[in-house]
Amino acid sequence: MRWLGVIGLIALFGYLLTGVRQIRPGERALVTRFGRIVDTPGPGLYVGLPYGIDRVDRIGVDSVRRVHLGFHPEFEDDALVSPPGQLLTGDHNLVNVQVAVDYVVRDSDATDYLMHQANADGVISRVAEAVIAEWIAGHKVDEILLSAKAKLPVYVRHRLQERLGPYRLGVAVQGASITYLHPPREVQPAFDKVTEAQAEIQTRENDARQQAQVELRRSEAEANRIEKLSLAYQQEQLGLAHAEADAFKTRLAQYQKLPKSNPGYLNGIWWEEMGKLFTKLRDSGRIDLLDHHLGPDGIDLTTLLAAPEKKK
């Protein structure tokens, strides 16, 4: 009998130890007692009532969870007219879409998630399908196939978080990604040809833009060269003009001083300028020397004619 008592005490002690739970870092727990929430402990050692009285559900708030929804490429059921994930576009075409949604449990709302944990993935899938169908219906099939992988995930992340608010799931949507996006197999070849044609158009547009950039840079270089030449010519002409002005001022100052001491100075200036004029007239063919018109009796005026202009 004594051994039975000892065994009973050991069993009772072991049973009481089932009320001790270890909540690991990054976890939150929900303690219910006969279906009623009594505590929501964080990381650490939790001591409660033993198994059968207290129920402890733990959930990791640091881990990222993923839900796949939409079309499954391996799905083949001819009995269904429209398989899951086959959506109607804004221009009345069909596309098959599969999306992966990533979410985490919010630390502050872990209790809400623990209460709805069994249905959380299903609710997220249904709401996400409605958001995706809404976006697909608002765009044409060409735009969807070309840009949906970049635009749709952003739209899903923001809209899905808003739509999940009333459900109080305690989750935060981290992101979304398109894992499958193709038209139905029956029309895939036609779409492939359209895609090839669009890629060719895009390639030609890129080539044209590159050529335009090359021509633009070439024009800018030429304009820069002409501008530099113009500035150099301008500086040269300004230099010559300043030099002529300085020479004129110097001569003017000399003229104002020398006539009193050198009365023939003005006459010298006159003949110097006339010499320059005659030189220009001779070079242009408008004047000629008179030496070949001299004869024994002097200048023969009957043969004095203006020299013909030189041919240019």
DSSP letter for 81, please.
S
Quickly count: other Cβ atoms within 10 Å of residue 181's Cβ.
17
Give the SS3 label for residue 264. coil
* Cα–Cα dist 286/280, whole Å: 9
pLDDT for 35 equals 65
Tell which phi-psi region holds residue 206, choosing left (phi > 0), alpha (psi between -120 and 50) or beta: alpha
| Confidence at residue 265, expressed as pLDDT on a 0 to 100 scale | 66
Residue 141 corresponds to which tokens in the numbers above? 């099939």
Domain ranges of the chain: 2-60, 65-183, 186-261, 264-312
CB 30 within 8 A of CB 69: no
pLDDT value, residue 100: 95
In this predicted structure, what is the pLDDT of residue 68? 93
For residue 19, how many other CB atoms are within 10 A of its CB?
A: 16
What gap in Å lies between CA 30 and CA 23, rounded to an integer? Answer: 11
- Main-chain phi, psi angles of 80, to 5 degrees: -95, 130
Structure-block tokens of residue 82: 């429209």
DSSP state string for 90-115? TTS-EEEEEEEEEEEE-GGGHHHHHH
Residue 304 confidence (pLDDT): 43
What's the average pLDDT block by block, 10 residues per block, for the chain (312 residues)?
72 66 70 69 68 71 87 65 85 92 86 83 94 94 87 94 92 92 79 78 91 93 93 92 88 71 68 74 64 59 50 51
Q: Look up the pTM and report it.
A: 0.53
Distance from C-alpha of 91 to C-alpha of 109, rounded to nearest angstrom:
41
CATH architecture type of domain 65-183 = 2-Layer Sandwich (3.30)
Read off φ and ψ for residue 170, nearest 5 degrees. 75, 30
Look at residue 183 in the predicted model and tell me its pLDDT: 85
Question: Greatest CA span in the chain, whole angstroms?
Answer: 178
- pLDDT computed for residue 19 by the predictor: 64
